[in-house]
Amino acid sequence: MKITDLINEDLLIIDHQFKDKNDVIDTLAKKLEANDLITDLEAFKDAIKEREKQSSTGIGMGIAIPHAKSEYVKKPSLIFAKAKGDGVDFESVDETLSDLIFMIAVPSGGENLHLKILQKLSRNLMHDEFTESLREAKDKQALLKILEAIDKEEQ
């Protein structure tokens, strides 16, 4: 399995102006619905919000990774949004705005191959060079190229 099995051009959002955290969750979840990746929009959003209640996935450094493991997910998916300007208030742990948002949707059961990819992505997000390259990417092709590089890494 490759990262491009989880994300494609239709699941990238560039320079979007988000109002607030709810707007982010709503916009990204709707995009998943439009791509036929979830079965129930509201139930999926509830799962995402349930996880946020435990602790915000706005992990600081401008990054937020709302995620849910839910029976309403059809297929493991990743959706990435670059927020316009300084970003959006995602109630981040370091109280900064988030401009790089990855929403992760994982089905409840089934195989685990996608988790390995998400693990690599999570580790990459901890490196400034990686996040800076995402910020600098001008278009969807450039973004996909950066993400595809993750596949080539050794575990």
Partner 1 sequence: MKTKLVAVTSCPTGIAHTYMAAEKLEKSAKKAGVKIKVETAGSIGVENALSKKDIEEAKAVIIAADARVEMARFDGKPLKEVSVSHAIKKSDELIEEALSESFKTYQAKE
Contact residues: partner 1, CB under 8 A: 51, 54-55, 57, 59-60, 65, 67-69, 93-94, 104, 106, 112, 115-116, 118-119, 121-123, 125-127
Please tell me the distance from the alpha carbon of residue 125 to that of residue 45, in angstroms, as a whole number: 24
Least Å from the CB of residue 141 to partner 1: 25
Least Å from the CB of residue 34 to partner 1: 23
Comparing CB distances to partner 1, the nearer of 39 and 55 is: 55
* Alpha-helix runs per DSSP H in the chain: 21-34, 41-54, 113-124, 128-136, 140-148
Is position 114 annotated as part of the catalytic site?
no
Comparing CB distances to partner 1, the nearer of 57 and 98 is: 57
Comparing CB distances to partner 1, the nearer of 104 and 137 is: 104
Measured at the alpha carbon of residue 111, what is the angle toward residues 108 and 117, in degrees to the nearest 5?
Answer: 95
User: 65 with 80: CB under 8 angstroms?
Assistant: no
3-state secondary structure of 109: coil
Least Å from the CB of residue 138 to partner 1: 26
Question: In terms of residues, how long is the chain?
Answer: 155
* Residue whose token pair is 């890494």: 153
Catalytic residues: 67
